[in-house]
Structure 1
Amino acid sequence: MAFWLGLFLAIPLSILANALTGPTQRLISRYNKRYRDRIAAKRTKEKELASSIAGQPDVVTWRLIFYLFQALRSVFIFISGVALVGVAFYVDKSMKTVVLTAAFILIFAGNLTFHFSMRQGVRLYFDAFAARLVIKRENVS
């Protein structure tokens, strides 16, 4: 009985899946285009900022120090999460799940914020360096 039911349901479900494939692909491609456009606009803003402060090495240095402190804060959050994992082994069973959940949230948040702060700092450094090279080339010629 289950075999025949599965066979009879497989045909309508496959027809439905084939009918929905086109609209689903168009929806995903539309979303991806908007996402790429947003990322491109954000990237041009970052490059404009880097080129505007490229002639001011002290501003670039302070911004890089800011990103470094953000990364250090992220490392502290990550280490706190790792320490909570160790604490979870010494609490009773009723609290173990809560402590482990908080630990994994801290580990995830620390890892994520470290990634973003380092990425922003590295992008700023290389964009400002490239803009500074362009400024030097324009001054030479």
Structure 2
Amino acid sequence: MRYLKVLLLTLFFFVSMVFFIQNNEMLSNELVLKLELFDLSFASRELPFYLIVLVSFVVGSVFSMSYFLAEKLRLSHELKSSKAKLAALEQEVTSLRNLPLEEEVYHSSVSKTETASYSDESAQPYSEKKREESAA
């Protein structure tokens, strides 16, 4: 991938040089930039056209690089917080896995109608019988 980037950069540089050499007369023409807002008027001194093209390219590159740098910083911060959250959740899962299991049946899991229908001991659920036998 690194070699491909170097190859593309070299190709871009080569095409740019050919463009500047073939259009040297046109790019050497002097140009005056003007800006008129309301009553204010600004004018640059005479500049060669190639200088305006190069400066525009450099300014665009700087703005693009600053945008992508800010985006990379934001994404790295988001990744760091996501990794911290993931580590906390993994630690919670590990601690829950290491808890001892209890064999106690909770009364909320047995409905009230079933509890009322168990009038004699032979009709009690197996877990309740086992608990009563171990208590005696």
Q: Compute the TM-score of the two structures, normalised by the length of structure 1.
A: 0.32
Bigger proportion of residues as strand: 2
Mark the structure with the bigger radius of gyration. Answer: 2
Bigger proportion of residues as helix: 1
Q: Compute the TM-score of the two structures, normalised by the length of structure 2.
A: 0.33
